[in-house]
Amino acid sequence: MEQSFNSEILANLLDIIQEGIIITDKEYRIVYINTTAEKLLKIKKEEALGAYCYDVLKKIIDKTICNCLKEKIQTGREIIQVPIYLQNIEETFVYISIFLPSSKEFCIISLNHGFPFTLSDTILNNFNEALLVVNRNYQIIYFNKKAEILTGFSVEEALGKSCHEILKSTICQNNCIIKESFEKKNVIKKSGIFLTKKDMSSFPAEIIASPLFIGEKLLGGLEIFKDITFEVQIQTILESIGDGVFSVDKHFKITSYNQALEKITGYTAKEALGKPCYEIFKSSLCESGCPVARVIKENKKLSNKQAYFIHKTGRKVPVSITVSPVKDSQGRLIGAVETVRDLSEISILRKELTKTYKLCDIISKSPLIDRIFKVLPDIAESESTVLITGESGTGKDIFARAIHELSPRKNGPFVAVNCAAIPDTLLESELFGYKAGAFTDAKKDKPGRFALADGGTLFLDEIGEIPLSLQAKLLRAIETKEYEPLGASKPEKADVRIIAATNQDLEILVKEGRFRQDLFYRINVVRLHLPPLRERREDIPLLIEHFIKKFRASKGKEIVGISEDALKILMSYDFPGNVRELENIIEYCFIVCKEGLIYPEHLPDYIEKKKEIIWPSEHQTLVSTPKTLEEIEKEAILQALRRNKWRKMATCRELGISKDTLRRKLKKYGLQDNGRKISP
């Protein structure tokens, strides 16, 4: 049968090719076997010729495979490139192809020295990544289509070459990745390596190298490489922006992660990549309303959602996040990208802006008040007499209470006396008490405020109103801690700390001879001046909120805040009655307003009219246009009230009218109805 192939040239040619060739007759008896096939099958030409091919092959091919091949040949079917494992000494893999010419006169069996792929060539060529396979000597034995495109070398140029000649990567010389994978017997992945193409241009690549073993025996290795120019460009962009950016796949695994995020979360990209996003960010939204899940589900962008992350150190980081869906080239959803803005600084600034100081029941955001807060504990700690000055309603009373609360006397009584509210004739017995029989109505002993305040604090409000006749006795009581109740034969002791307050200028009263200088010096040991509300307008919104809360609780009305317009009006109002006036205004609003927000129409009328008629500014002349006598009188009373900080008694004194007359005039001009509290 050899004669059928009597062309010696053909026989010689077949003999030198690297492919094993066996030719059988139609009975599948071997009529030709070339040298490569002899070597591969470990059989001598003489033994093989005339033998049935499957008798020869089954010695080195797994029986089941051999039977399967036999069956196929017998049914006349061709076999192309089936990888088979030869159980010869070298234990190699070969591709077996069996061609049956149409005449079916003979059959050609070819044995390709191949590699143990279970994937067919078609699959490998359609593989998305460039792929090459090397043998143990780093010679390329497989090179797919993508590898051709990426490197510019054809498969013919690549096969048989050493891989470094084709890939020419920056790590080929010293850090050969495939060599490393052989040594470590593991898959190695490297990114940011530059590969040089056939045309000498280069591109950044990611390479995965894997050794190929059969049992313990190293056969070679494969390299998968891809051009990551786009990713590098994107990464460069991502690194150059200040916001944190990361992307996740559909399973919430982090696929990219920029440097800004490392700062926000404390986790490096290395720690984060490949992890589920909730493990890294631990956001306040992770469990309840995961925005990434929502975006993936609804395929819709989500903007500026406020949340916080937990930093690696456990600190809460306030953030604003925007999440967008990510699609592949065919428009299929493949994940999401999230941008993260760190709001820490903004919230620090916001906190700074909304910083409020609170001490006991006093709230403020004014640095002027904060300065007082800072010294108040020390003042409280001392036993010194304190003089609190400030216009009416600025908070002298609550500051006095705060001093008491912070002092070592806090468990003792706090007794307040408004010296202006008690008629001069009664003030002495009110302060010092009396003994039974001291005067006609004195049936039994009555302790005074000094006695009641024993071991605690006595707050003498409006101390400027104390008549001169009583000032000497008061001075003695403060200095010696001893006093004599009316009708007493001997002094009594009272361990009292004095806090005095006034809205008058005591120095002027001293000059005018209406206040004793020695008493003034005695009480003016520590002086606190409370600025009027118009000098700390920043407190207005805060106090409005405070009073709304207070009245909401006590009056049970669902008033939740103040409208911008109403706030604007109050912000530009001068508040001659200070915090007390503001408190009264809000209380008035709680009567007029049903629920929701306080609007301008809920504010007392006089506030809007103040500049026109009711509250002329201090510099406005009384008679700028012709006025009626009544108008002049009304304005004169208002000016006097203003000068006397809205105190009736002082106003009466200045105008030389009685309290009754003033009361009538105020009623006549409707001044009581305007919401302003006028002190006695």
Cα–Cα distance between 165 and 193 in angstroms, integer? 16
Tokens linked to 342: 């760190």
Task: Kindly list the distances between the CA atom of residue 436 and the CA atoms of 90, 368, 477, in Å, as whole numbers in the listed order.
Answer: 129, 49, 21
User: How many other CB atoms are found less than 10 A from the CB of residue 214?
Assistant: 12
Q: How does strand 457-461 pair with strand 497-502?
A: parallel
Q: Which of 397, 405, 484, 587 is in the footprint of ligand ATP by CB under 6 A?
A: 397
Residue closer to ligand ATP (CB basis): 394 or 471? 394
Contact 245, 326 (CB under 8 A): no
- Return the bridge partners of 32, or none: 23
- Provide the mask over 457-476, with x wherever binding to ligand ATP is found by CB under 6 A and - wherever it is not: ----x---------------
- Return the bridge partners of 89, or none: none
Contact 280, 248 (CB under 8 A): no
Residue closer to ligand ATP (CB basis): 15 or 397? 397
Q: Which of 392, 457, 504, 644 is in the footprint of ligand ATP by CB under 6 A?
A: 392
According to DSSP, residue 167 is labeled H
Tokens linked to 163: 């891989």
CB of 644 to ligand ATP, least distance (A): 12
With binding defined as CB under 6 A, does residue 389 bind ligand ATP?
no
* Of residues 435, 516, 513, the one with CA closest to residue 474: 516
With binding defined as CB under 6 A, does residue 360 bind ligand ATP?
no
Residue closer to ligand ATP (CB basis): 110 or 503? 503
With binding defined as CB under 6 A, does residue 651 bind ligand ATP?
no
With binding defined as CB under 6 A, does residue 286 bind ligand ATP?
no
CB of 373 to ligand ATP, least distance (A): 10
Task: Give the H/E segment covering residue 96.
Answer: strand 93-99
Residue closer to ligand ATP (CB basis): 492 or 583? 583
Interacting residues with ligand ATP between 474 and 503 (CB under 6 A): 503
Which range in 85-93, 339-347, 362-370, 562-570 contacts ligand ATP by CB under 6 A? 362-370
Residue closer to ligand ATP (CB basis): 114 or 395? 395
CB of 545 to ligand ATP, least distance (A): 11
CB of 460 to ligand ATP, least distance (A): 11
Sheet holding 188-196, edge to edge: 140-143, 130-135, 217-227, 202-214, 188-196
Residue closer to ligand ATP (CB basis): 94 or 458? 458
Which range in 93-101, 159-167, 347-355, 392-400 contacts ligand ATP by CB under 6 A? 392-400
With binding defined as CB under 6 A, does residue 342 bind ligand ATP?
no
To which residue do tokens 């700074």 refer? 352
Q: Which of 409, 449, 536, 580 is in the footprint of ligand ATP by CB under 6 A?
A: 580
With binding defined as CB under 6 A, does residue 256 bind ligand ATP?
no
CB of 638 to ligand ATP, least distance (A): 18
Q: Which of 394, 407, 429, 457 is in the footprint of ligand ATP by CB under 6 A?
A: 394
Which range in 47-55, 74-82, 389-397, 475-483 contacts ligand ATP by CB under 6 A? 389-397
Q: What is the per-residue DSSP string for 569-618?
A: HHHT---TTHHHHHHHHHHHHHHH--SEEE-GGGS-HHHHHIIIIIS--T
With binding defined as CB under 6 A, does residue 208 bind ligand ATP?
no
Q: Which of 364, 389, 504, 651 is in the footprint of ligand ATP by CB under 6 A?
A: 364
CB of 546 to ligand ATP, least distance (A): 6
CB of 583 to ligand ATP, least distance (A): 5
Which range in 184-192, 221-229, 385-393, 438-446 contacts ligand ATP by CB under 6 A? 385-393
CB of 467 to ligand ATP, least distance (A): 19
Task: Tell me, by CB under 6 A, how many residues bind ligand ATP.
Answer: 19
138: left (phi over 0), alpha (psi -120 to 50) or beta: left
Q: How does strand 188-196 pair with strand 202-214?
A: antiparallel
Let me know the angle formed at the C-alpha of 63 by 60 and 69, rounded to the nearest 5 degrees: 95
CB of 345 to ligand ATP, least distance (A): 30
* Of residues 147, 204, 210, the one with CA closest to residue 178: 210
Q: How does strand 140-143 pair with strand 130-135?
A: antiparallel
Which range in 129-137, 358-366, 373-381, 552-560 contacts ligand ATP by CB under 6 A? 358-366
Tokens linked to 90: 């070298």
Tokens linked to 248: 């996740």
Interacting residues with ligand ATP between 533 and 562 (CB under 6 A): 546
Task: Kindly list the distances between the CA atom of residue 88 and the CA atoms of 40, 67, 218, 363, in Å, as whole numbers in the listed order.
Answer: 8, 18, 16, 93
- Provide the mask over 407-446, with x wherever binding to ligand ATP is found by CB under 6 A and - wherever it is not: ----------------------------------------
Task: Kindly list the distances between the CA atom of residue 633 and the CA atoms of 152, 636, 653, 669, in Å, as whole numbers in the listed order.
Answer: 104, 5, 16, 10
With binding defined as CB under 6 A, does residue 608 bind ligand ATP?
no
Tokens linked to 333: 């959803």
Burial of 5 (0-12, 13-18, 19+ CB in 10 A): middle
To which residue do tokens 């940011």 refer? 192
Task: Kindly list the distances between the CA atom of residue 442 and the CA atoms of 436, 446, 490, in Å, as whole numbers in the listed order.
Answer: 5, 8, 18
Residue closer to ligand ATP (CB basis): 335 or 390? 390
With binding defined as CB under 6 A, does residue 396 bind ligand ATP?
yes
Contact 279, 255 (CB under 8 A): no
Residue closer to ligand ATP (CB basis): 158 or 417? 417
Task: Kindly list the distances between the CA atom of residue 118 and the CA atoms of 71, 497, 502, in Å, as whole numbers in the listed order.
Answer: 21, 98, 99
Q: Which of 223, 243, 583, 635 is in the footprint of ligand ATP by CB under 6 A?
A: 583
Q: Using CA atoms of 528, 534, 539, 542 in order, give the dihedral in degrees to the nearest 10.
A: 130
Task: Give the H/E segment covering residue 294.
Answer: helix 291-298
With binding defined as CB under 6 A, does residue 456 bind ligand ATP?
no
Contact 41, 57 (CB under 8 A): yes
Q: Which of 218, 273, 360, 363 is in the footprint of ligand ATP by CB under 6 A?
A: 363
With binding defined as CB under 6 A, does residue 231 bind ligand ATP?
no
Q: How does strand 20-25 pair with strand 482-483?
A: unpaired
Tokens linked to 132: 């090459």
CB of 586 to ligand ATP, least distance (A): 11
With binding defined as CB under 6 A, does residue 376 bind ligand ATP?
no
Residue closer to ligand ATP (CB basis): 15 or 370? 370
Residue closer to ligand ATP (CB basis): 404 or 546? 546
Contact residues toward ligand ATP (CB under 6 A) are 361-364, 390, 392-398, 461, 503, 546, 579-580, 583, 679
